[in-house]
Amino acid sequence: MEIQKIGIIGAGQMGNGIAHVMALAGYDVLLTDISQDALDAALSLVARNLDRQVSRDLISAEDKDATMARIGTTLTLTDLGQTDLIIEAATERETVKQAIFDELLPHLQPHTILTSNTSSISITRLASRTDRPEKFMGFHFMNPVPLMKLVELIRGIATDEPTYKACLGVVERLGKTAASAEDFPAFIVNRILVPMINEAVYTLYEGVGNVKSIDESMKLGANHPMGPLELADFIGLDTCLAIMNVLHDGLADTKYRPCPLLVKYVEAGWLGRKSGRGFYDYRGEVPVPTR
């Protein structure tokens, strides 16, 4: 099937980035959120990011105008029923995602493909509660979406080949690379990345090093572009904890036990950059380690 119109659920950090790259690639996009403020903020951010691409001669001013013209917004979730492909990028909570799909199902076209940008939740389980498990898969973008080249495509146990091929075609049109992953907890990237972050938090928790020494060690000693604690703040400590819980629950292996210090930071509301404090304090001009 030919995909022309794409619905995106959630105008947050991931949703606005997905809208950006889809519209830039020529797709008509309909973006929805429960908040008009979130939709307005998303459009402003997409415009600023496109301006940055124009300033670097990556796209033309005409490209920017055409891209913005292809993004529509709505507060009514069911308006997305007329799209060919839906990408859910709401909060990383299964109950929220399930409620969204339940509301959407009666309004979908027969051919509409449903996907989730989940970073860890079972695609098979999400799909099984819909009327189209064969037309359901994981479509996991990396953050920040406009810059990162990888998209994980995750097949549920029922996902059929035409659905996979259609989503693969979208990834290729975006100029990104698809990594095919099986539907096991946290897929590929986060199965490897988040336990490394969790181990860095254990290293901090056990007093092996402080925030600065741990991050500098991995940047200068392992050539990582960003230290693991800095990266955790960028991702969101609540998201890191949610992924560790999915791994721990889904694989029943103690090596995936979330570090108690990570739990404590989340309980304190110190979630990283988005809340102003995490392993670093971002409330001043320069981030300062909190330990």
pLDDT (tens digit per residue) in 228-240: 999 999 999 999 9
CATH assignment at residue 131 = 3.40.50.720
- Amino acid (1-letter code) at residue 252: A
For range 44-65, the mean pLDDT:
96
Q: 124 and 260: one domain?
A: no
Q: Are residues 107 and 77 in the same domain?
A: yes
16: pLDDT strictly greater than 80: yes
Domain co-membership, 216 together with 250: yes
Q: Give the pLDDT confidence of 114-146 residue by residue, as tens digits.
A: 999 998 889 999 999 999 999 999 999 998 999
CATH of the domain at 269: 1.10.1040.10
Residues of the chain with pLDDT > 70: what percent? 100
Give the domain-ending residue among 136, 152, 182: 182
pTM: 0.89
**Residue 51 marked as a ligand binder:** no
The pLDDT assigned to 153 comes to 98
244 is in an annotated binding site: no
Active site (catalytic) residues? 119, 140, 152, 190
Q: What tokens were used for 250?
A: 């889904």
The reply, when asked if residue 264 is annotated as ligand binding, is no
- Under the banding of pLDDT at 50, 70 and 90, the label for residue 93 is confident
Domain count, the chain: 2
Range of the domain at 228: 190-289
Give the number of other Cβ atoms within 10 Å of residue 230's Cβ. Answer: 24
Averaged pLDDT for residues 255-274: 97
User: DSSP characters for 199-265?
Assistant: HHHHHHHTTSS-HHHHHHHHHHHS--SS-HHHHHHHH-HHHHHHHHHHHHHHH--GGGPPPHHHHHH
Q: Is 198 annotated as a binding residue?
A: no
- In the predicted model, what is the mean pLDDT of residues 200-215? 98
